[in-house]
């Protein structure tokens, strides 16, 4: 990574189950999900490779994984949402992903 390049802006929020469900519906309807990774611990993925988004999201809802990262494309930009369960709510951290060189 270029050390002179600025870091992308972060957006974060704490949401309830209904808002999370709406976010996921919107991603599926208006974006393109590129991949989902499940996280077991802050620095440990359950699977190193992206997995089926529907299965990963369902396992997250069931408490099998601690967090998920959803990589998607929306309005000509790539994004990554990290969603972490915090009690009865969910913390969402969103970051725009830089375009990879061709």
Residue with token string 């725009």: 96
CA distance 18 to 21: 5
Write out the chain's pLDDT in tens, 102 residues: 456 666 667 789 999 999 999 999 999 999 999 988 888 765 655 566 667 888 888 888 888 888 999 999 999 999 999 999 998 899 999 999 877 655
pLDDT of residue 78: 94
Q: Sheet containing 89-97: give its strands across.
A: 10-15, 89-97, 77-86, 67-74, 32-41, 44-45
| 80 three-class SS | strand
What confidence score (pLDDT) does residue 7 get?
A: 65
Question: Model's pTM, two decimal places?
Answer: 0.80
């Amino acid at each position: 990574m270029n050390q002179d390049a600025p870091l992308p802006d972060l957006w974060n929020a704490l949401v309830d189950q209904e808002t999370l469900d709406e976010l996921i519906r919107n991603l599926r309807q208006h974006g393109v999900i590129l991949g989902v990774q499940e996280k077991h611990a802050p620095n440990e993925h359950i699977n190193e490779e992206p997995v089926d988004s529907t299965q990963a999201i369902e396992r997250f809802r069931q408490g099998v994984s601690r967090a998920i990262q959803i990589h998607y494309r929306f309005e000509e930009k790539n994004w990554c949402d990290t969603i972490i369960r915090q009690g009865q709510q969910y913390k969402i951290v969103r970051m725009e992903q830089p375009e990879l060189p061709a």
